Structures are given as structure tokens and as C-alpha cells.
């Protein structure tokens, strides 16, 4: 089903806030085929937690469209270890860019959140209506509250000012440009790096955090970028939209899949001192599918392409 394009991007000035991150760089790549001008600004030039500087940059550069992919992100250990950093930095970035977009008369803003906004024990798969119906997962409730605030800001700005600001809630993402630092990263890049280093070192064990029983949904960042660009062109309403693949896997099964992709033949051992987090985070993507979008990447194919990127760029590649 081909949905009507209500907001063409051709000829527009499009700012990807967070363009150097995994999702932001994927969105910038995806926009190259839209006939628009892609704007970007590095951290050295603009600190997005600085309100005055952010307003001034937006007033001077007048983007027509903003993809708000800039955020302080991290895996379960980073979120659990630095709650103040995650809630403060993300609230500041969102408030500065969303209010800055109103002041600069931005025609369309797409705010990117995360599937951790939903209650820890939400019914699975999680629909957009599950938001705020139960308590959050303690290891990342700080980040989750910041992202829920971003959704609410976009809704409030639509109601009070008529701003066409929409929200996309991606599931766990992976792919080129990911963070491979073993302390701050998410599970997919962490397992990939650990399996790779164990293979090279001839080690017989690969350490998996937690019990391995939690289930997660993994979406390639290029699929996510394609989905949020599609949303920018076809969606304008109050509700946020889930962005995922509609399929999940246990962490134990993921560990075996990554070991296989990497070619690590040893044993997997669990580290019970690390948290499991939410038992399951599978998104219902019916609303995204109703917009005429469906995922392209299969998990094994996506993991293999992410591993190839890691081999070409190393742990600190960008
Ligand atoms: O990807 P992850 O850090 O984030 O952890 P969440 C997912 C699951 O993988 C947890 C397990 O059960 C981890 O215990 N895991 C196993 C590992 N081995 C590892 C490892 O080596 N590293 C990591 N990091 N995990 C995040 C939120 O939750 O999801 C963020 O904290 C964000 O705010 C992100 O929302 C999308 O999926 O548990």
C-alpha cells in the first residue's frame, strides 16, 4: 500500500541533529536520495545543551525540517550508572531544539525516542497506547522520562501552536557507526566486539551479561532511518509511532547468532552480576505498517553487515 506523501522533502533545508551518531548518520545517508539540502553542525561548533547557542544557530540557519536524533544514549549499564546525566542532558537537548524549532518556524520536526518509554511489564507486543500505563524499568527510567517528555512537548506544541512536530519511538538499534565501548554500549555491538576479540585471542569463553532470558527486538539503523524519513513525508498527528521490526529474540539466542556471524566457536558464560533489565521489549508496529512502511533487514543479514563495518572501522570507528 503506497501512502500519500503529505510533506515532500525535495528542495527543503533538513537539519539532522546528531548527524555523527549511529541513527543520525543513517538518516543523513537516507536523505541523500530525497533531493533536499542536509544541514549538520558538530559538537565543537554547537553545544545542544546550551539554550541560547542552540536558538541562535537555528535562527541563523533556518532549517525547514529537523530530525532530532541528538541524545545522550547508552546501554543498560551506562543508564543505570549515570541517571542524572541521562535525564539532564536529554531534557536540555530536547527542550532547546523543540522550542528553537518553534522560534525558527521549522515546518516539520521528527523527534526520536526509544522503546524503553513503555512500562516494564507492558503487554507484548507494546502498542502506542501502553504509554504511561505502568511503572518503568528502573535501570533506564531516567532516560525514559526524558524521552516521554519529548513526546509530550511535541504534542503540546501541536496543540498550542499548531506545530507539525511528530515523534518516532525506535526499538533497540544496531549497525554502522554503533558504539563498541564495552562499558557504555548496547548488547549487539558489545557481544560482537567480545566475540571478535575472543576469537582472535583463541579464548574458549564469551561472557554474556545477565541470564540471557530477556527478549529484545533489533532493528538495523538504516531500516530505522528509512522509516523515520517515511514518517516525515506521510504522517502528521498527535500520537507517537512505534518503529521496529515486529520480531524479537532472547539474548541467549542473540549471543549464539553473533558468535556464529563472527565465527567464535567457544562457550557462552553468563555474568549474573549484570542486570537483565526489562524482560521483553517488542513493539507493535501496526501504525507504522498502516503508513505503508515495512522493515527490510533480517537480523542475521543485518548483524553480518554491522560486523563487516566493525572490521573495517574498529571499535572507535566513526
Ligand atoms: O542493549 P542493552 O544494554 O539495553 O541490554 P536494554 C539488553 C540486554 O542484553 C540486557 C544483555 O538484558 C543485558 O543484560 N546483555 C548481555 C548485554 N550481554 C551484554 C553486554 O555485553 N552489554 C550490554 N550492554 N548488554 C536499553 C536502555 O536497555 O535499551 C536504553 O538502557 C535504550 O535507555 C536502549 O532504551 C534502546 O535494551 O536493556
Atom from ligand 1 closest to the CA of residue 185:
24
Tens digit of each residue's pLDDT (9 = 90 or more) over 268-294: 999 999 999 999 999 999 999 999 999
Which cell is 289 given?
505498517
Mean pLDDT for the chain overall: 97
Question: Is the distance from CB of 262 to CB of 307 less than 8 angstroms?
Answer: yes
Q: With helix as H, strand as E and coil as C, how does the chain read?
A: CCCCCCCCCCCCEEEEECCCCHHHHHHHHHHCCCCCEEECCCCCCCCCCCHHHHHHHHHHHCCCEEEECCCCCCCHHHHHHCHHHHHHHHHHHHHHHHHHHHHCCCCEEEEECCHHHCCCCCCCCECHHHCCCCCCCHHHHHHHHHHHHHHHHHHHHHHHHCCCEEEEEECEEECCCCCCCCCCCCHHHHHHHHHHHHHHHCCCEEEEECCCCCEECEEEHHHHHHHHHHHHHHCCCCCCEEECCCCCEEHHHHHHHHHHHHCCCCEEEEECCCCCCCCEECECCHHHHHCCCCCCCCHHHHHHHHHHHHHHHCCCCC
Q: Ligand 1 atom 3: the closest Cα is on which residue?
A: 75
pLDDT digits (tens, 9 = 90+) for 298-313: 999 999 999 999 999 9
Asked if 25 contacts 19 with a C-beta cutoff of 8 angstroms, the reply is yes
Best of 277, 281, 282, 283 for a ligand 1 pocket test (most atoms within 8 Å of beta carbon): 277
Ligand 1 is surrounded, with C-beta below 6 A, by 75-77, 79, 114, 116, 139-140, 143, 172, 185-187, 190-191, 208-210, 214, 216, 251, 274-278
Q: Supply the pLDDT for residue 2.
A: 60
Q: How far is the CA of 23 from the centre of ligand 1 (A)?
A: 17
Cα–Cα distance measured from residue 288 to residue 230, given in angstroms and rounded to the nearest whole number: 9
CA of 137 to the centre of ligand 1 (A): 12
What pLDDT digit, counting tens, does each position of 105-124 carry? 999 999 999 999 999 999 99
252 CA to centre of ligand 1 in angstroms: 12
Nearest-10 crossing angle of helices 51-61, 83-103: 40
**221 within 8 A of 26, measured Cβ to Cβ:** yes
Q: What pLDDT, in 10s, does the model give residues 45-85?
A: 999 999 999 999 999 999 999 999 999 999 999 999 999 99
**Which atom in ligand 1 lies closest to the alpha carbon of residue 173?**
36
Q: Check pLDDT > 70 for residue 1.
A: no
Q: Measured in angstroms, how far is the CA atom of residue 187 from the centroid of ligand 1?
A: 5
Taking Cα atoms as reference points, which of 176, 168, 187, 73 lies closest to residue 111? 168
pLDDT value at residue 287: 98
How confident is the model at residue 307, as a pLDDT? 97
Residues with Cβ within 8 Å of residue 221, at least 6 apart in sequence: 22, 23, 26, 173, 174, 175, 176, 177, 178
pLDDT digits (tens, 9 = 90+) for 201-259: 999 999 999 999 999 999 999 999 999 999 999 999 999 999 999 999 999 999 999 99
Nine cell digits for residue 143: 532516560
Mutate to test the pocket of ligand 1, among 77, 80, 186 (most ligand atoms within 8 A of CB): 186
Relative to beta strand 249-250, strand 215-216 is: antiparallel
pLDDT surpassing 50 at residue 318 = no
Q: Is the pLDDT of residue 164 over 70?
A: yes
Whole-model pTM: value is 0.97
**Which residue owns the Cα nearest ligand 1 atom 13?**
276
Provide the annotated active-site residues.
Answer: 143
Instruction: Give yes or no for residue 33 having a pLDDT over 90.
Output: yes
CA of 85 from ligand 1 middle (Å) equals 18
Amino acid at each position: 500500500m503506497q501512502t500519500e506523501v503529505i510533506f515532500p522533502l525535495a528542495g527543503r533545508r533538513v537539519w539532522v541533529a546528531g548527524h555523527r551518531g549511529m541513527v543520525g548518520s543513517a538518516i543523513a545517508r537516507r536523505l541523500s536520495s530525497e533531493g533536499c539540502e542536509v544541514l549538520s553542525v558538530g559538537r565543537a561548533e554547537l553545544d545542544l545543551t546550551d539554550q541560547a547557542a542552540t536558538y541562535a544557530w537555528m535562527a541563523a540557519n533556518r532549517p525547514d525540517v529537523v530530525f532530532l536524533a541528538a541524545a545522550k544514549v547508552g546501554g543498560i549499564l551506562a543508564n543505570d550508572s549515570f541517571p542524572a546525566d541521562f535525564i539532564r542532558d536529554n531534557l536540555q537537548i530536547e527542550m532547546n531544539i523543540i522550542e528553537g524549532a518553534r522560534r525558527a518556524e521549522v515546518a516539520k520536526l521528527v523527534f526520536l525516542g526509544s522503546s524503553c518509554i513503555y512500562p516494564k511489564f507492558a503487554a507484548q507486543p507494546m502498542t502506542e497506547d501502553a504509554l504511561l500505563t505502568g511503572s518503568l524499568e528502573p535501570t533506564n527510567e531516567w532516560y525514559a522520562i526524558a524521552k516521554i517528555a519529548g513526546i509530550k512537548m511535541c504534542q503540546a506544541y501541536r496543540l498550542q501552536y499548531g506545530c507539525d512536530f511528530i515523534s518516532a519511538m525506535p526499538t533497540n538499534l544496531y549497525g554502522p557507526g554503533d558504539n563498541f565501548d564495552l562499558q557504555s554500549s548496547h548488547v549487539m555491538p558489545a557481544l560482537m566486539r567480545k566475540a571478535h576479540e575472543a576469537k582472535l585471542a583463541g579464548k574458549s569463553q564469551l561472557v554474556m551479561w545477565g541470564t540471557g532470558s530477556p527478549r529484545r527486538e533489533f532493528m538495523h539503523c538504516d531500516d530505522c532511518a528509512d522509516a523515520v524519513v517515511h514518517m516525515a513525508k506521510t504522517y502528521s498527528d498527535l500520537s507517537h509511532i512505534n518503529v521496529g521490526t515486529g520480531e524479537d529474540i532472547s539474548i541467549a539466542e542473540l549471543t549464539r547468532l553473533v558468535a556464529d556471524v563472527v565465527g567464535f566457536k567457544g562457550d557462552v558464560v553468563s555474568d549474573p552480576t549484570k542486570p537483565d533489565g526489562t524482560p521483553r521489549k517488542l513493539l507493535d508496529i501496526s501504525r507504522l505498517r498502516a503508513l505503508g512502511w515495512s522493515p527490510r533487514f533480517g537480523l542475521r543479514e543485518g548483524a553480518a553487515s554491522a560486523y563487516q563495518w566493525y572490521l573495517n572501522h574498529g571499535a572507535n570507528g566513526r
